[in-house]
């Protein structure tokens, strides 16, 4: 039973399109995150939600909009996709807001052509 699941696993799309990545966790965690891993494998946080409330919003273009319908779900919507958005996006959750025990999803590889 997957703890943090992301869909889709792979996403290839054209520039200018709008796409969404979904994330669900069945661990009962209150805090969820989106991280971006670029082509050089550098991981950087994008957003964090605690109990559906946005608590971290790093310097991310406003084309990226997270949505948390409930504490088990954190989706990422991206408008007007650009080539530079190509990356692997990881969802994660933690049992506490201190971030001491992350569980990561397996990632969504987004390729913008």
Residue numbers at the binding site for other proteins (CB under 8 A): 4, 33, 40-45, 48, 50, 55-56, 90, 92, 94, 97-107
What HEC string does 7-51 produce? ECCEEEECCCCCEEEEEEECCCCCEEEEEEECCCCCEEEEEEEEC
Q: CA–CA distance from 77 to each of 22, 67, 83, 100 (Å)? A: 9, 8, 16, 27
User: With respect to other proteins, which residue has the nearer C-beta, 35 or 78?
Assistant: 35
User: With respect to other proteins, which residue has the nearer C-beta, 58 or 82?
Assistant: 58
For residue 99, the minimal CB distance to other proteins (Å) is 3
User: With respect to other proteins, which residue has the nearer C-beta, 12 or 43?
Assistant: 43
For residue 37, the minimal CB distance to other proteins (Å) is 9
For residue 16, the minimal CB distance to other proteins (Å) is 27
For residue 26, the minimal CB distance to other proteins (Å) is 15
**Which pair of structure tokens corresponds to residue 3?**
């703890």
**Which pair of structure tokens corresponds to residue 52?**
């559906």
């Amino acid at each position: 039973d997957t703890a943090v699941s992301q869909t889709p696993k792979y996403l290839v799309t054209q520039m200018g399109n709008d796409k969404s990545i979904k994330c669900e966790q069945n661990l009962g965690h209150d805090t969820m995150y989106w991280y971006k891993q670029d082509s050089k494998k550098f991981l950087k946080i994008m957003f964090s939600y605690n109990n559906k409330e946005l608590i971290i919003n790093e310097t991310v273009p406003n084309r990226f909009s997270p949505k948390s319908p409930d504490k088990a779900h954190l989706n990422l919507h991206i408008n007007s996709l650009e080539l530079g958005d190509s990356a692997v996006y990881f969802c994660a959750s933690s049992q506490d807001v201190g971030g001491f025990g992350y569980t990561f999803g397996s990632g969504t590889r987004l390729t913008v052509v």
